[in-house]
Amino acid sequence: MSKTTKTGSLVDAKKMSAELFTLTYGAFVTQMLKDYEDPQVVTAKLDKIGFDMGTVLADDFLAKSANVPRCQDCKQIAEVLSKLAIPNYLGVPATVSNWSSGDREFSLIIESNPLTELVEIPDHLKATLNYSQVIAGAIRGALEALHFKVYAVAVENASNTEIRIKLDSILKDSLPAGEDY
């Protein structure tokens, strides 16, 4: 996920046009659909790619934003994700809603998801392909790097993208095995 911008001229050299990004991602998913032939496999692959991106983005995010407090619970995670992380990397805001199972599960709603700006998912793929799963994967990867194990699924609604996040457990810092400190 690279930073996106919508201004035409005078663009920051490090940013790329949102359209190019959307088209690149679209071409990429299409090619994967051709190569793997099974939309479910594509969803899984997108999730994996996102996960790998997320593990890197976690550090990138921390290095850039100096004063983010350490998150202790889901509410804080949701707040940082929706107010800082997603606007930072996707260029669009997200809202938090649909809390359930004792504040361990919530949805992030991305109103104008740049990935799907030019995309209409055909009916036969709707059930099996999670087009924006890469975002969900990235969130999962980033949170896992911060010792939160979560499940994340991206669902395309008619007008927005919903990312459903469920906190599973908080991981312990792992020390090298067999060493007694």
Residues that bind other proteins (CB under 8 A): 56, 58-60, 62-64, 66, 70, 145-147, 173-176, 179, 181
- Of 128, 153, 121, which is closest to residue 40 (Cα–Cα)? 128
Complex with other proteins: residue 8 or 69, whichever CB lies closer: 69
- How far apart are alpha carbons 46 and 3 in whole angstroms? 19
- Of 89, 84, 80, 81, which is closest to residue 152 (Cα–Cα)? 81
Complex with other proteins: residue 34 or 172, whichever CB lies closer: 172
CB atoms within 10 A of CB 110: 22
Least Å from the CB of residue 142 to other proteins: 9
Complex with other proteins: residue 37 or 179, whichever CB lies closer: 179
Complex with other proteins: residue 11 or 56, whichever CB lies closer: 56
Least Å from the CB of residue 172 to other proteins: 11
Contact of 133 with 105, CB cutoff 8 Å: no
Instruction: Identify the three-state secondary structure at position 156.
Output: strand
Put residue 53 in one of left, alpha, beta given phi > 0 → left and psi -120 to 50 → alpha.
Answer: alpha
Least Å from the CB of residue 2 to other proteins: 11
- How far apart are alpha carbons 27 and 29 in whole angstroms? 6
Complex with other proteins: residue 123 or 181, whichever CB lies closer: 181
- How far apart are alpha carbons 20 and 17 in whole angstroms? 5
Least Å from the CB of residue 80 to other proteins: 11
Least Å from the CB of residue 181 to other proteins: 5
